[in-house]
Chains A and B, each alone.
Chain A
Amino acid sequence: MSETMPQAPQKKLVISDKVMIEMKDVHKWYGQFHVLKNINLTVKQGERIVLCGPSGSGKSTTIRCINRLEEHQQGQIIVDGTELTSDVKNIEMIRREVGMVFQHFNLFPHLTVLENCVLAPIWVRKMPRKEAEELGMHYLKRVKIPEQAKKYPGQLSGGQQQRVAIARSLCMKPKIMLFDEPTSALDPEMVKEVLDTMVSLAEDGMTMMCVTHEMGFAKLVSNRVIFMDRGEIIEQNNPHDFFDHPQNERTKLFLSQILHH
């Protein structure tokens, strides 16, 4: 665990009062199954939130509701001042401002790394190709793989692919980044390079929500850890108190299971 521990953020992190994400009494069902129960959550600009919990607890579903990859059936979700409804224009507008990184990267295998990065800026933001390619190279440098720009995703390692996926999201200049278990599908030796990239994003003040099992990352980078179980938020606290003084019995059990195995 200690080798994969990223460096602590160097800069002072600023959290403003501006609310970026607001979830009010959100409920969701898959058929008869009640997956999200009364989720209430406010995320301010510059916050770095880690969601953890056992599998099937609804963490991924929660962040997937924020860019409407999943539809909530009750309650309100407001992202950057716009409420998510079934209005397609609204959804597309919110998705432009919310970047997402997936467990399995989901790069487009028929396009080169650079083409993956410039696709959305060109077709969604209507940016000229040349400008988009400069932007793409800028973010590929940022994730430290500009030399792979002309390769196809299938030719890269998992860690490199995930960094390309992060660069692809950043090319849309999102206000919020969602991470859905970004390191779970990686070989252990590649986890660090992805976490380092995420730490440097946090240093730049990006608003982030991250579903992860990397508790080292949670301790170092997050300002709030949320623990979910069976579709409910059980406990949320700053990482220091969350790990050292968990309040709920369920949280204590979960932490004891993942920290002393």
Chain B
Amino acid sequence: METKTTFTPHPELPPPANTVGAVGWLRANLFSSPANSLLTLFALYLLWLLLPPALEWLLFKATWSGTTRADCAPGGACWVFIKMRFGQFMYGFFPEPERWRVNLAWILAVLGILPLLGKRNPLRLPAAVFMLFVYPLIAFVLFSGGFGLAPVETSQWGGLMLTLVIAVVGIAGALPGGILLALGRRSKMPVIKTICVTFIEFWRGVPLITVLFMSSVMLPLFLPEGMSFDKLLRALIGVILFQSAYMAEVVRGGLQAIPKGQYEAADALGLSYPKAMGLVILPQALKLVIPGIVNTLIALFKDTSLVIIIGLFDLLNSIHAATVDPNWLGMSTEGYVFAALMFWLFCFGMSQYSQWLERRLHTGHKR
């Protein structure tokens, strides 16, 4: 006797009703266990305690219209302060008739960066060339004058404009600097390796405040008589050197995560070192450490506010200066809430972009 068995697949059934839809989501996420249910209820209670007074102060009892301190109603925020001082917060002491130049520079930056953020498109290459080589010159002329534009000293730069200048220049310098340092630290050549290790360990070992102090107070003492550097430029160099050391260690983490086989495959195809790094290793390594890179960039963005100690008027310092104005006493809460909101907007934007980038660059399983 021979018995034949044939394979009949089991029919596919729908999932149980209480595991799908809104009820399923609530059960799975908020009330999955007694402890989780308790935490959910506690969180709701906290929100009930905190949210109504916060909203009342921020929105419902807040003063929106008016021009002076006297227009502020008690019990709520007085956004009139922000409105009246908005120009100072955005541009610092940049002369009012020249402020269009700052706006134009930012508009150009956004237009230039947009094609780079999206997927592959024909504008990518021209936009990259423009942003790398042309834009820095245009922005420099727009900010500091020349070619028929009235000169504006860097000491007049301030507010959000100065914050963004420091952050953007810092990022543009620290990212490539960090990559080079990371590659150098993994170099087989002992001289290069030693230089990079020493550099990284030195800059990581000192606080940014010290670096800024040194750049503004100590450095001029060592420079020859009559020679002087712009204070902002010195701060920028300090920020770049400091942050590239941090960036280098983040990138090195990515380089170490790339399997040896990738280096070998690139070598075996005859790619030279710069090509193997630029085309094979770095694209993968940088993608792996996007969270770490963005972490460093966000920290860099917020650390720009430390320039307050060398007397530069960035966004935070401009707001601080406005709150000690006798005409607007007692407005520091509004000022700092506004500062927090501005910083949060930019940092949250960077974070969202990085998460989108990670999803876009995901190409399935490794190997």
**Is residue A243 contacting chain B, with contact meaning CB distance below 8 A?**
no
Q: Residue among A92, A95, A109, A153 with the most chain B CB within 10 A?
A: A109
**CA separation between A57 and B265, bound complex, in Å?**
23
**CA separation between A100 and B261, bound complex, in Å?**
12
Partner of B265, one of A102, A154, A172: A102
Assess whether B268 is in contact with A69, with CB atoms less than 8 Å apart: yes
Assess whether B270 is in contact with A120, with CB atoms less than 8 Å apart: yes
A-contacting residues, B348-367, CB 8 Å: 361, 363-367
Q: A123 to chain B: which residues have CB within 8 Å? A: 271, 275, 279
Q: A110 to chain B: which residues have CB within 8 Å? A: 283-284, 287, 361, 363
Number of interface residues of A (CB under 8 A): 31
Assess whether A124 is in contact with B271, with CB atoms less than 8 Å apart: yes
**CA separation between A109 and B284, bound complex, in Å?**
8
> Taking CB as reference atom, which chain A residue is nearest B278?
A123
Q: Residue among B266, B270, B280 with the most chain A CB within 10 A?
A: B270
**CA separation between A120 and B262, bound complex, in Å?**
14
B-contacting residues, A39-57, CB 8 Å: none
B-contacting residues, A68-111, CB 8 Å: 68-69, 88, 92-93, 95-96, 98-100, 102, 104-110
**CA separation between A106 and B367, bound complex, in Å?**
7
> Taking CB as reference atom, which chain A residue is nearest B283?
A110
**Nearest Cβ distance between residue B260 and chain A, in whole angstroms?**
9
**Is residue B272 contacting chain A, with contact meaning CB distance below 8 A?**
yes
**Is residue A163 contacting chain B, with contact meaning CB distance below 8 A?**
no
> Taking CB as reference atom, which chain A residue is nearest B260?
A106
**Nearest Cβ distance between residue A99 and chain B, in whole angstroms?**
8
Q: B270 to chain A: which residues have CB within 8 Å? A: 92-93, 95-96, 120, 124, 172
How many residue-residue contacts, CB under 8 A, span A and B?
81
Q: A161 to chain B: which residues have CB within 8 Å? A: 367
Number of interface residues of B (CB under 8 A): 24
Assess whether A153 is in contact with B269, with CB atoms less than 8 Å apart: no
**CA separation between A161 and B272, bound complex, in Å?**
24
Assess whether B269 is in contact with A124, with CB atoms less than 8 Å apart: yes
| Contact (A107, B265) CB under 8 Å given A120-B271, A123-B275 | yes
**CA separation between A93 and B275, bound complex, in Å?**
15
**Is residue B71 contacting chain A, with contact meaning CB distance below 8 A?**
no
Q: B365 to chain A: which residues have CB within 8 Å? A: 109, 154-155
Partner of B261, one of A88, A92, A102, A120: A102
**Nearest Cβ distance between residue B350 and chain A, in whole angstroms?**
22
> Taking CB as reference atom, which chain B residue is nearest A123?
B275
**Is residue B230 contacting chain A, with contact meaning CB distance below 8 A?**
no
**CA separation between A96 and B267, bound complex, in Å?**
10
**Is residue A167 contacting chain B, with contact meaning CB distance below 8 A?**
no
Q: A96 to chain B: which residues have CB within 8 Å? A: 270
**Is residue B264 contacting chain A, with contact meaning CB distance below 8 A?**
yes
> Taking CB as reference atom, which chain A residue is nearest B264?
A69
Partner of A154, one of B271, B283, B367: B367
**Nearest Cβ distance between residue A11 and chain B, in whole angstroms?**
28
> Taking CB as reference atom, which chain B residue is nearest A95?
B270
B-contacting residues, A112-130, CB 8 Å: 119-120, 123-124
Partner of B367, one of A93, A98, A153: A153
| Contact (A95, B268) CB under 8 Å given A104-B261, A106-B262, A110-B283 | yes
**Nearest Cβ distance between residue B365 and chain A, in whole angstroms?**
4
Q: B367 to chain A: which residues have CB within 8 Å? A: 104-105, 107, 109, 153-154, 161
**CA separation between A53 and B147, bound complex, in Å?**
75
Q: B280 to chain A: which residues have CB within 8 Å? A: 108, 119
B-contacting residues, A204-221, CB 8 Å: none
**CA separation between A69 and B267, bound complex, in Å?**
8
A-B contact pairs, 17 of them (CB 8 A): A68-B267, A69-B267, A92-B272, A96-B270, A102-B261, A102-B264, A104-B259, A108-B284, A109-B364, A110-B361, A120-B269, A123-B271, A123-B275, A124-B271, A154-B366, A154-B367, A155-B364
